[in-house]
Each structure stands twice: as structure tokens, then as C-alpha cells.
């Protein structure tokens, strides 16, 4: 296991990140291809923050060579609110707010 908190001058962070991205994309594509084979689907939609990643977008478009139609939004429409949600949760936690396991999602909840 790589300890990213340990400062190692011999680790090229750009190479490490590129390798991580490539590996994650390969795993994602393997699972997508398994799902295509198992279900016989011919249409895929890529959405959310992950659809902003140009490397992932390129790999998904490769599926079109296998007659799989790929839909994805314009880059300007690709968003990922995970950081905002994590920040809101952090500040709620710091303020002493705790939720029980029966908490449900409310899409228009005020923060």
C-alpha cells in the first residue's frame, strides 16, 4: 500500500495520479463491458462528476465501435457536488448536529 502522506521525493505525483486514473478507468470499463455482455444493452449514459473526466469520456466513446450508443452531457453540464456536500456535513458535525440512520434524502433541503 502506498502511503500518500509520507513525503517521498522519488514519487512523481503526476505519474502516480495518471496511473491511478488509468487503473480506475480500466476497472470501470471492465465492469461496464461485463454488464453489456450480461444484459445485452446497446445504450449507455455517462453522467455526474465522473463524466467530466476526459480520459473516461474517451474510453466510453470507444464502446461505439461495438455498436453501443453512448450518451454524455456537454462538459459545461458535468458537475460533482461531493465536495459541497462533504463541506456542509463537516460544518453541521462541528456545530453538533447529528443524524440517525433513518435520515432520508431531501433534494431541495436548504443548507
Given a cut of 60, whether residue 88 has pLDDT beyond it is yes
Whether residue 17 is contained in a domain is answered as yes
pLDDT tens digit string along 48-80?
878 889 999 999 999 999 999 999 988 877 776
Whether residue 5 is contained in a domain is answered as no
Given a cut of 70, whether residue 23 has pLDDT beyond it is yes
Confidence at 4, pLDDT banded by 50, 70, 90: low
pLDDT of residue 5: 58
Average pLDDT, the chain: 87
Whether residue 4 is contained in a domain is answered as no
**Nearest-CA neighbor of 105 among 81, 72, 76, 77?**
81
Q: End-to-end CA distance of the chain, in Å? A: 37
pLDDT of residue 62: 96
Domain residues for the domain of 31 are 13-94
Whether residue 99 is contained in a domain is answered as no
Whether residue 106 is contained in a domain is answered as no
Given a cut of 80, whether residue 22 has pLDDT beyond it is yes
**Residue 73 near residue 51, CB atoms below 8 Å:** yes
**b or e along 9-48 (b: 16 or more beta carbons within 10 Å of the residue's beta carbon)?**
eeeeeeeeeeeeeeeebeeeeeebeeebeeeeeeebebee
What total of structural domains would you count in the chain?
A: 1
Residues β-bridged to residue 71: 45
pLDDT of residue 7: 67
Whether residue 7 is contained in a domain is answered as no
Whether residue 37 is contained in a domain is answered as yes
Amino acid at each position: 500500500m502506498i502511503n500518500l502522506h509520507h513525503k517521498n521525493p522519488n514519487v512523481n505525483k503526476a505519474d502516480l495520479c495518471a496511473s491511478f486514473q488509468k487503473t480506475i478507468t480500466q476497472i470501470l470499463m471492465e465492469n461496464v463491458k461485463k454488464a453489456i455482455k450480461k444484459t445485452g444493452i446497446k445504450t449507455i449514459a455517462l453522467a455526474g462528476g465522473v463524466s467530466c473526466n476526459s480520459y473516461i469520456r474517451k474510453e466510453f466513446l470507444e464502446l461505439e465501435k461495438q455498436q453501443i450508443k453512448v450518451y454524455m452531457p456537454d462538459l459545461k453540464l458535468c458537475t460533482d457536488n461531493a465536495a459541497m456536500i462533504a463541506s456542509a456535513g463537516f460544518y453541521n458535525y462541528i456545530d453538533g448536529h447529528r443524524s440517525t440512520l433513518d435520515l432520508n434524502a431531501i433534494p431541495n433541503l436548504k443548507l
